[in-house]
Structure 1
């Protein structure tokens, strides 16, 4: 029998991601953020969809490669 996964509330996802519930709501309104389910008036998130969103949001590096292939940190003007 397949294991069932409990869907998460917006409060649980906000806590997991370190965001406010208001941010998640704004993202939903703008079509951003993790994929979600609307069950009547309730909003739920599948853990796999939250994990996919986090993976898709990952940035590999913020350094710039030099001509010799070495990474250099890009200096920001102050």
Structure 2
């Protein structure tokens, strides 16, 4: 009986495009998805300009539905300005 290797971790950008992931996202996930430095994610949070996050103890997490709504809102704003 041969054991199969577990699938590699999925790219958060591909998961978000294909459907919402079944877990809360970390700041590192957000940085990877938007291809920005992690410092940018923290600045967005400080200035309240990026996707809304929340704290679980000392950790920041992002609800995938909120991230999707943020992206949709940004896209709508861009199309409205054109």
* Native 8 Å contact 1:5 1:46 kept in 2: no
Report the equivalent of 1:35: 52
Report the equivalent of 2:42: 25
Tell me how far 1:61 sits from its aligned partner: 6.8
Tell me how far 1:27 sits from its aligned partner: 0.9
Report the equivalent of 1:60: 79
SS in 1 for 2:31: helix
What RMSD over aligned residues (CA atoms) do the two structures have, in Å? 1.8
Of the two, which has the highest radius of gyration? Answer: 1
Q: After TM superposition, what 4+ stretches of structure 1 lie above 4 angstroms from structure 2?
A: none
Indicate the structure with greater helix content.
2
Report the equivalent of 2:27: 10
Indicate the structure with greater strand content.
1
Give unpaired runs (5+ residues) of structure 1.
Answer: 64-78
* Native 8 Å contact 1:36 1:46 kept in 2: yes
Give unpaired runs (5+ residues) of structure 2.
Answer: 1-20
SS in 2 for 1:8: coil
